[in-house]
């Protein structure tokens, strides 16, 4: 009795599986190291097999960004706009710290996927249904994204990791300061940034509340 025909590697491939493998590689090695060949190798197939599901590397990158957007909290249209925007920003920060390669790519793709557009529609719809004018909706979306992506650029590029590393770096910088110079920098470092429990990441929540306060005041004045 003849055995079942074996499935080929190509037939087992899907676009979603290829994108997931690419995201995993970018998380581990950075997007600069990503290639169709490396993705194929991680899936146990030749790179040419991938082209049955993704047109080229740019198409793959579009899919990767779309997959990251799908992990963001999508604001509930008709929900409390402030809470929904807060949840969206907090979830996005968590997601992007898991996928740091994506920070500079989230709004940079010319061929946006459905999840990307669905997320944008949810943000716009939540704000519009809360009474934001079209102009104020645009302002709100822009400033929320500026806070999100801008903060992550800073946070992910900090030259220290954790309190001990910051303390060592701070001591090194302060020792190098000329005596009596830069008094405000010295004060901030010694009395705030180098105090136990300080974490730069905590500034994200504070900044987000300031943004939301400003938007709420503008909406009420509208």
Tell me the CA distances in angstroms from 125 to 20, 72, 90, 111, 141, one per residue in order: 29, 16, 19, 22, 11
Q: Which residues of 12-23 are buried (b: 16+ CB within 10 A; e: fewer)?
A: ebeeeebbebbb
Average pLDDT over residues 9-15: 74
Does the pLDDT of residue 5 top 70, yes or no? no
Does the pLDDT of residue 2 top 60, yes or no? no
Low-confidence winner among 5-19, 60-74, 109-123, 156-170 (lowest mean pLDDT): 5-19
Does the pLDDT of residue 4 top 70, yes or no? no
Does the pLDDT of residue 56 top 80, yes or no? yes
- pLDDT > 90: percent of the chain: 89
The pLDDT mean for the chain works out to 93
Classify residue 161 as exposed, middle or buried by CB count within 10 Å of its CB (0-12, 13-18, 19+): exposed
pLDDT at 6: 42
pLDDT at 11: 55
- pLDDT greater at residue 2 or residue 67: 67
pTM: 0.89
Q: Cα–Cα–Cα angle for 160, 164, 168, nearest 5°? A: 70
- pLDDT greater at residue 9 or residue 39: 39
Q: Which domains does the chain have, with CATH numbers?
A: 8-54 (1.10.10.60)
DSSP state of 182: -
pLDDT at 9: 47
- pLDDT > 70: percent of the chain: 95
């Amino acid at each position: 009795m003849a055995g079942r025909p074996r499935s080929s590697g190509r037939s087992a491939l899907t676009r979603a599986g290829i994108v997931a493998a690419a995201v995993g590689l970018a998380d581990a090695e950075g997007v600069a190291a990503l290639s169709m060949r490396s993705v194929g190798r991680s899936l146990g197939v030749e790179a040419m097999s991938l082209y049955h599901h993704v047109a080229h590397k740019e198409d793959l990158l579009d899919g990767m960004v779309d997959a990251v957007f799908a992990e963001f909290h999508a604001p509930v249209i008709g929900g409390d706009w402030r809470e929904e925007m807060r949840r969206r920003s907090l979830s996005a920060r968590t997601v992007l710290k898991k996928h740091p390669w994506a920070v500079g790519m989230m709004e940079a793709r010319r061929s946006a996927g459905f999840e990307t557009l669905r997320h944008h529609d949810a943000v716009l719809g939540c704000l519009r249904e809360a009474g934001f004018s079209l102009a104020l909706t645009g302002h709100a979306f822009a400033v929320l994204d500026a806070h999100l992506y801008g903060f992550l650029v800073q946070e992910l590029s900090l030259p220290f990791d954790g309190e001990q590393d910051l303390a060592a770096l701070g001591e090194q910088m302060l020792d190098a300061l000329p005596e009596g110079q830069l008094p405000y920098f010295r004060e901030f470092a010694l009395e705030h940034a180098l105090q136990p429990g300080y974490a730069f990441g905590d500034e994200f929540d504070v900044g987000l509340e300031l943004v939301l306060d400003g938007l709420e005041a503008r909406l009420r004045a509208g």
